[in-house]
A and B are shown apart, each in its own frame.
Chain A
Amino acid sequence: MNAGMETLRLLYIAMGPGIGIAVFIYYSNKLDREPGKLVLKSFFLGGLAVLPTYYFEGVAEQVLGMQDLQDESSPLFWPKTILYAFVGVALAEELCKFLFLKAFVFDEREFNEPFDGIIYGGMIGCGFATVENIMYVLPHGQEVGILRMLTAVPGHAFFGIILGYFMGRAKFSLNGARHLMHGLVVVVVLHGIYDTAAFANALWSTYLIFAIIFLGIYLGLKAKREMEKLAAVIEFSAKQYFPLKGRKKKVPLYLRDIRCLLSKGKLVPEDNLVDKKSGKIKSIREIFSVKIISQYKGLPKTPFSGMPVKLFLIFYQMTFGLYLYFWFLGNYRDFTSYKKLKHNPELLALGLFIFSILPYFVYGVLQRTLDLNVVSGSVTDISFDLVVAALESAFLYSQFQMFSGFLAKKLKKSISVPMVILSFFILSGLKKVLLPTAPFYLFWEMVLILIQGGVLAFVQRDLNLYWKLENERNMH
């Protein structure tokens, strides 16, 4: 492979995951899609934030003499490592993202409901992760790209979502400064622990890195879910308010109308409105605060639109199949919410992620402890890969079984769950067994991901049909 093609390949590995997660975040806002221009601006601001923070990190590295720290026996190893991780890196990076978000996005008219914090915070995080990933992957190669795809990229994206969650709450509450401070502290602490583990360069630290990433993803998804409920309340609430300026007490406004007027600049979050029913005067900050989530249970059934099959395939391909976890989560959420099932979608998705990653660490530890020298491509290695593929397939099987019952009642001819799972298992097994040293490795990997995405696209097609029929029924 010539140098130009190699660079392009590495660029794809470096940029794919960040852009993939950004697209996922953007499309997760189904009720009031954000303007593309501001979304792109946030993404680029995240990328720009890499430059000043890297300069600061370089200075901190010099001042603390981090290059001289060889291992734990070096004098002041832990105080210096912790200080550098928390202040030199975590605080610098998160503060810069926070500052750019606050200065260039927070006051925009289109930031017109708390959920928008999730979108813009997520975009800043993805932009940062993408540019930083390019700077790491181009000089260090594919292995670093694959490792960062599972750690640093989702880490930055979900830390961004958590920061955005607090930004959203800050803009629409009476004590915004407190929420801003909370957000900054939470992400700096998470990021600081992650970096301390990364710089410790020991076996235990690998587990801590993944634990922090899992925690970050879990908290990010929880925050996103809470804001989605809030967005649903704003969209569908029957509560009405009269504005105290302009069309004073003439036309009552629903919450979604207020959101629309905010984006047009005709109202600002500080404006006061009169509750049509109680006559109480409240500012928009109070009206849009998280307190109104309590109305969520009383809302009519939220219609689900599914997801265009083409879009699903693009997500799946761009994230090298990592989109499976988000898709799994989305499906569980939709059915749990719609059918009032007793599931915890975030925990289940995290469980799938852990069950796909954890065996590799256990396998590695076993090899080291028992001093086994397992050759890549040996029977033991292939058997292990197939066990992991079987674990993933079992998780998917349990989910598909759950909703295939609902689908079978609605659709004349729905998917055959065993067939889909068997195909998924074969493709997943092939993907894992494929040796990185094989000729045209990346090409075959991409082909297998495409076919695997194609198999799951049949499920997505049936889901789309199901939601369409359900929505039609609800409308009647």
Chain B
Amino acid sequence: MTRTKIIALIVAVVGSLLYVNSYLNPPETWESHNKKGVSAFQASRHAEAEKHFIQALEFAEKPPINNDRLRFSLYQLAEIYRIQSKLIEAGLILKRTLAIDEKILGPKHPNVALAMNNLASNYRERGKHDEAEALLKQALKILEESLGKEHGLVGNILDHYAHLLHKMDRPVEAEKLESRSQVISSTQSIENQ
């Protein structure tokens, strides 16, 4: 048997076996972990979903970093922590997401306000009302400046803020915010008609 034939046989046999193996057991990727995490989440297997979302995050953190993927993974993980009432872990992730958004998008971007709102929800659930209020005030300011005072998202933040104020036993301030939110939502519904 010639040397070329031996090489070709090795390439044919080993290469085909490796391909079949990789086809049957595909290598894990960011996409595959996300997919598995989502299906575990839909089947209410939260611990398994958390494991896959952590692994997806590890892939997303590898350079070259794709910020969209990284933010997506962070949100997925924060959500699965929240569902499992792991609020401290969720808070850390949301804080990191906010820092990334501020760095990439700038401190005045509406998405930064939304990240602040998410972190504020976490603080509210953990009873850290003062920190939550500070964040909501900032978020409201950013959204009013960037999108206008009558924007629907401003209404959403106002509702959230009002909810927090009720928790903090400040009903008068809460009602003011609620009435402002109602004006925005009625304006929105007229515009949509």
A interface vs B, CB < 8 Å? 48-49, 51-56, 58, 62, 65, 67-68, 70, 75, 96, 99-100, 102-104, 107
Contact = CB atoms under 8 A, between A and B. Distances in A.
A53 B8 contact: no
Sorted nearest first, the 3 A-B pairs with minimum C-beta distance are A52-B15, A103-B8, A55-B19
B105 interface: no
A104 B5 contact: yes
A15 B140 CA distance: 61
Contacts of B20: 51
Given A65-B64, A75-B64, A96 B11 contact: yes
Given A55-B22, A68-B64, A100 B15 contact: no
A100 B11 CA distance: 9
Contacts of B43: none
A145 B152 CA distance: 47
Nearest to B68: A70
Kindly state the interface size class of chain B when it binds its partner.
Answer: 20 to 34
B92 to A, nearest CB: 26
Contacts of A56: 15
Contacts of B9: 103
Given A58-B22, A103-B5, A48 B29 contact: no
Nearest to B21: A55
A52 B12 contact: yes
B44 interface: no
B28 to A, nearest CB: 11
B16 A67 contact: no
Nearest to B69: A68
Contacts of B25: none
Nearest to A92: B15
Contacts of A53: 15
A62 B22 CA distance: 13
Contacts of A99: 4, 7-8, 11
A49 to B, nearest CB: 8
B168 interface: no
B15 A55 contact: yes
24 contacts: A48-B12, A49-B12, A51-B16, A51-B19, A51-B20, A52-B12, A52-B14, A52-B15, A52-B19, A54-B19, A55-B16, A56-B15, A58-B19, A58-B27, A65-B64, A67-B29, A70-B66, A96-B11, A99-B8, A100-B8, A100-B12, A103-B9, A104-B5, A104-B8
B7 A103 contact: yes
The interface residues of chain B, by DSSP majority, are classed as: helix
Contacts of B22: 55, 58
B190 interface: no
B2 interface: yes
Given A62-B27, A65-B64, A51 B15 contact: yes
B16 A48 contact: yes
A65 B2 CA distance: 37
B18 interface: yes
Contacts of A102: 4, 8
A441 B157 CA distance: 54
Nearest to A102: B4
A107 B4 CA distance: 11
Contacts of A58: 19, 22, 27
A49 B13 CA distance: 10
Contacts of A62: 27
A121 to B, nearest CB: 15
Interface in B128-174: none
A52 B11 contact: yes
Contacts of A54: 19
A70 B20 CA distance: 28
A48 B11 CA distance: 10
A52 B20 CA distance: 9
Contacts of B19: 51-52, 54-55, 58
A96 B20 CA distance: 17
Interface centre among B4, B12, B27, B64 (most CB of A within 10 A): B12
A48 B16 CA distance: 8
B65 to A, nearest CB: 9
A96 B8 CA distance: 8
A65 B30 CA distance: 12
A52 B4 contact: no
A58 B29 CA distance: 12
B45 to A, nearest CB: 27
A114 to B, nearest CB: 20
A104 B5 CA distance: 7
Contacts of B29: 67
Interface string B61-103: 0001010000000000000000000000000000000000000
A51 to B, nearest CB: 4
A52 B64 contact: no
A102 B7 CA distance: 11
A229 B26 CA distance: 50
Task: Identify which of B4, B11, B14 gathers the most chain A CB atoms within 10 Å of its CB.
Answer: B11
B61 to A, nearest CB: 13
Nearest to A45: B12
Interface string B18-62: 111010000101010000000000000000000000000000000
A103 B18 contact: no
A58 B5 CA distance: 25
A328 B18 CA distance: 44
Contacts of A100: 8, 12
A296 B4 CA distance: 35
Give the interface centre of B19, B27, B31, B66 by most chain A CB atoms within 10 Å: B19
A62 B30 CA distance: 12
A140 to B, nearest CB: 16
B2 A52 contact: no
Contacts of B8: 99-100, 102-104
Contacts of B18: 52, 55
Contacts of B64: 65, 68, 75
